Amino acid sequence: MSLSADIVDHSPHPLAGRVMTGAEMVVQVLADEGVDTIFGYSGGAILPIYDAVFRYNQEHGAAMPLIVPANEQGAGFMAAGYARASGRVGVAMVTSGPGATNMVTPVRDSMADSVPMVVVCGQVPTTAIGTDAFQEAPVPSIMGAVAKHVFLVTDAAKLEATVRTAFEIARTGRPGPVVLDIPKDVQNWRGVFQGAGRLPVPGYRQRMNRLEASRLPASACEAFFAALGRAERPLVYAGGGVVNGEASAALREFVETLGIPVVTTLMGIGAVDTTHPLSMRMLGMHGAAFANYAVEDCDALIAIGARFDDRVAGTPQRFAPRARFLAHLDIDASEIHKVKRVDWHHVGLLPVALGTLLAYARTHGFARDWSAWHAHCAELRTRHAMNYDRDSAAIQPYYVIEEINRLTRGEAVIATGVGQHQMWAAQYFDFRQPRLWLTSGSMGTMGFGLPAAIGAQFAARKRLVIDVDGDASIRMNIGEMETVTTYNLPVKVVVLNNCGDGMVKQWQKLFHKGRLSASDKSLHTKDFVKAALADGFKYAVRLDRKEDVPRVVAEFVGFDGPAFLEVMIDQDAGVYPMVGPGQSYQEMITGDFIPSRSAVDVKPPGASEMF
């Protein structure tokens, strides 16, 4: 993300020189940064800023509405959903103490998935800090471990510059969440609004300027294409950095021009059109079998905005075993060689780097005939296509998603919770563009889907937004059902109900001899439809007959306004393919309906393996 946009306009701010409270300065800087929606919950230590927001909206015609969730965690995920769907900085605003601590999970979630967010926390007055005052929490200590940066503002004269700097840090480089901890007396302080200025953070700006100035020299391009030219089966492995770095268009041009097939990570979904012939869809633990087999077969792998994480690389030394050339392009130097050593790398802005490589290829007439590899990939897609028991009398979750996808045609925003439904959505939905797929990747946070969908609807007001959730995951933040109807958002919520923690049950069946310890919720008495009706949903339906699926799904998707659909799915439906922890793609379990290359023995993970 370029810094240049921050320094072009040198004209004086129209309000420069005006005396304001600290709270008013915060709100004015938010407006200057283009914030059009704030998500948050009020409380004593944040009241001055909340009052300033109220007065700003009175004066400017509700230009910056404040959306109130049921819980502060919901506000954080709404801000994250807004940011993920738009690429802009999401803003959450909460009070001190429990308000701030309820934001820890969304902040960590956003840090793990590189999501730009600014969180404004109220804090007890500066004189009370450290006294265990009412609703005091050590926000810098807590958030410092999970955020990109934290500011505790004790010098009121630096407040205005600090807020601007928070936005700069959140959106530049590898994006992430920045937390502003603002004591109440600093909010009430009065001073002169400067209308410009940032904190001196020379080390950070030097790194960002080096990153922006980083260019691929001709010698690096020559080495890249010399190695690529020797490849017969090249493959691009694209991650969330492509989406976060606004590099999707550049990647699409790069692979289409050169004719290189692409696999994406969970976070990279949408970086390329999933319906494109070069798309091999998602790789990894629950990636498509054909995607994983393509990784097994490739002889050159180009990682772009990806980090070889455990859900993809599994056992790093056995990942892409036939690749004689490994290249890695990323915005973050710390990712290079972190998990797997590569033969060629570049750290810089991805759109610039991809554009430079493509320009070199065109100038030097680089072209290779990879038609045999294309045919091989097409055969993999056909032979090892996603599939399930289509004759089952029970409703299969894959069938429900296929029906929704048939109507939305890859153009809807899909948010998910975490669990089996998340993987089914990743596997069976199409995504024609980036920023249509919103999910908690690295943190795997249950309860993410519904509030993220709410935030996304504010960011993409004309888009169809659907939360695909599970009965266990939606319980985590089910209070936000009322938020949907309070603001009359046309969000569609579908709960795939398998009466429990489906992914945990799958692991227990595979690796713990079917002992469903604390994961079976078949005896729970929650009536989701009645809950939705109580929260104001005019459309709230339970679907439990397979023959009704096409009709009910069409009603649900087409309903004008908020809609809720509970689907009673096959409780034994599993997520396949599956690569067990510590195992390679060669040992991938494909289930009963996706052909495998070879028989695989299901082996339990080792004692030290991750979930």
Least confident range from 226-240, 248-262, 487-501, 574-588: namely 574-588
Asked if 511 is an active-site residue, the reply is no
Cα 200 to chain center, whole Å?
Answer: 31
The C-alpha atoms of residue 222 and residue 231 are separated, in whole angstroms, by: 15
The closest alpha carbon to 194, from 162, 234, 166, belongs to 162
Contact by Cβ (8 Å): 143, 9? no
- Is residue 603 part of the annotated active site? The answer reads no
Give me the catalytic one of 117, 503, 578, 588: 503
Helix (H) / strand (E) element for 605: namely none
The answer, yes or no, to whether residue 399 has pLDDT greater than 50, is yes
Q: Per-residue pLDDT tens for 247-269?
A: 999 999 999 999 999 999 999 99
72 classed as catalytic: yes
Q: Range with the lowest mean pLDDT among 70-84, 176-190, 500-514?
A: 500-514
Report the pLDDT averaged over residues 158-183.
Answer: 98
Residues in CB range of 520: below 8 A, 6 or more apart: 499, 500, 505
- Residue 168 pLDDT: 98
Element (H, E) at 59: helix 47-60
pLDDT tens, position by position, 102-141: 999 999 999 999 999 999 999 999 999 999 999 999 999 9
Q: Is 135 marked active-site?
A: yes
Whether 214-383 and 4-210 are alike in CATH topology: the answer is: yes
Q: What is the mean pLDDT of residues 346-373?
A: 98
Pairing relation of β-strands 465-470 and 437-438?
Answer: unpaired
Q: State mean pLDDT over 593-606.
A: 80
Cα–Cα dist 78/483, whole Å = 11
Report pLDDT for 523: 83
Report angle CA 167, 169, 175 to the nearest 5 degrees.
100
- Tell if the pTM clears 0.75, that is, is over it: yes
* Cα-Cα-Cα-Cα dihedral sign, residues 557, 483, 414, 167: positive
Spot the catalytic one: 134, 222, 411, 603: 134
Task: Name the H helices within 182-244.
Answer: 184-188, 202-213, 218-229, 240-244
Residue 6: the pLDDT is 46
Q: Are strands 344-347 and 325-330 parallel, antiparallel or unpaired?
A: parallel
Of 53, 59, 93, nearest to 76 (Cα)? 93
CB neighbour list of residue 478: distance below 8 Å, 6 or more residues apart: 450, 531
Concerning whether 566 is annotated as a catalytic residue, the answer is: no
Q: Select which of 103, 123, 160, 184 is catalytic.
A: 184
Superfamily per CATH, domain 4-210: Thiamin diphosphate (ThDP)-binding fold, Pyr/PP domains (3.40.50.970)
CA distances to 30, 226, 544 from 167, in Å: 9, 41, 47
In this structure, which amino acid lies at residue 463? R
Active-site option among 20, 24, 39, 72? 72
Domain 397-568 fold is Rossmann fold (3.40.50)
pLDDT of amino acid 8? 53
- Helix (H) or strand (E) holding 160, with range, is helix 159-171
The answer, yes or no, to whether residue 491 has pLDDT greater than 60, is yes
Q: What is the mean pLDDT of residues 294-320?
A: 96
The alpha carbons of the chain give a radius of gyration, in whole angstroms, of 25
Q: What is the mean pLDDT of residues 569-582?
A: 94
Task: Give the whole-angstrom CA distance, residue 536 versus residue 112.
Answer: 34
User: What pLDDT score does 610 carry?
Assistant: 57
- Residue 394 tokens read as 């029970």
Q: What fold characterizes domain 214-383?
A: Rossmann fold (3.40.50)
Q: What pLDDT does 600 receive?
A: 73
Written in H, E and C, the secondary structure of 298-360 is: CCEEEEECCCCCHHHHCCHHHCCCCCCEEEEEECCHHHCCCCCCCCEEEECCHHHHHHHHHHH
Model confidence band, residue 367 (pLDDT cutoffs 50, 70, 90): very high
Tell me: pLDDT of 487 over 80.
yes
| DSSP symbol at 208 | H
**Residue 414 near residue 266, CB atoms below 8 Å:** no
User: What integer is the mean pLDDT of 361-375?
Assistant: 98
- pLDDT bin (cut points 50, 70, 90) of residue 607 is low
Tens-place pLDDT, residues 511-543 = 898 999 989 988 889 999 999 999 999 999 999
Cis check for the bond before 106: say yes or no (omega within 30 of 0).
no
Residue where the block lists tokens 């701030």: 100
pLDDT at 9 over 90: no
| Confidence at 5, pLDDT banded by 50, 70, 90 | very low
3-state helix, strand, coil in the chain (%, to 5): 40, 15, 45
Q: What CA–CA distances, in Å, run from 198 to 6, 7, 169?
A: 10, 11, 11
Edge-to-edge order in the sheet of strand 344-347: 279-282, 262-264, 234-238, 300-304, 325-330, 344-347
Q: Which of 146, 412, 402, 425 is nearest to 266 (CA)?
A: 425
Tell me the three-class secondary structure of 509-543, residue by residue. HHHCCCCCCCCECCCCCCCHHHHHHHCCCCEEEEE
Please report where in the chains the tokens 């109580």 appear, as a residue.
534
Identify each DSSP E strand in 153-195 by its residue range: 177-183, 190-192
Quick one: what percent of the chain has pLDDT higher than 70?
97
For the stretch 189-229, pLDDT in tens is 999 999 999 999 999 999 999 999 999 999 999 999 999 99
436-476: pLDDT as tens digits = 999 999 999 999 999 999 999 999 999 999 999 999 999 99
The whole-number pLDDT of residue 609 equals 63
Domain boundary assignment for the chain: 4-210, 214-383, 397-568
> In terms of C-beta density within 10 A (0-12 exposed, 13-18 middle, 19 or more buried), how is residue 354 classed?
buried
- The pLDDT value given to residue 401: 98
CA distance linking residue 113 with residue 49, whole number of Å? 29
The answer to whether residue 75 scores a pLDDT higher than 50 is yes
- Are 502 and 469 in contact by the 8 Å Cβ rule? The answer is no
> What's the mean per-residue pLDDT of the chain?
96
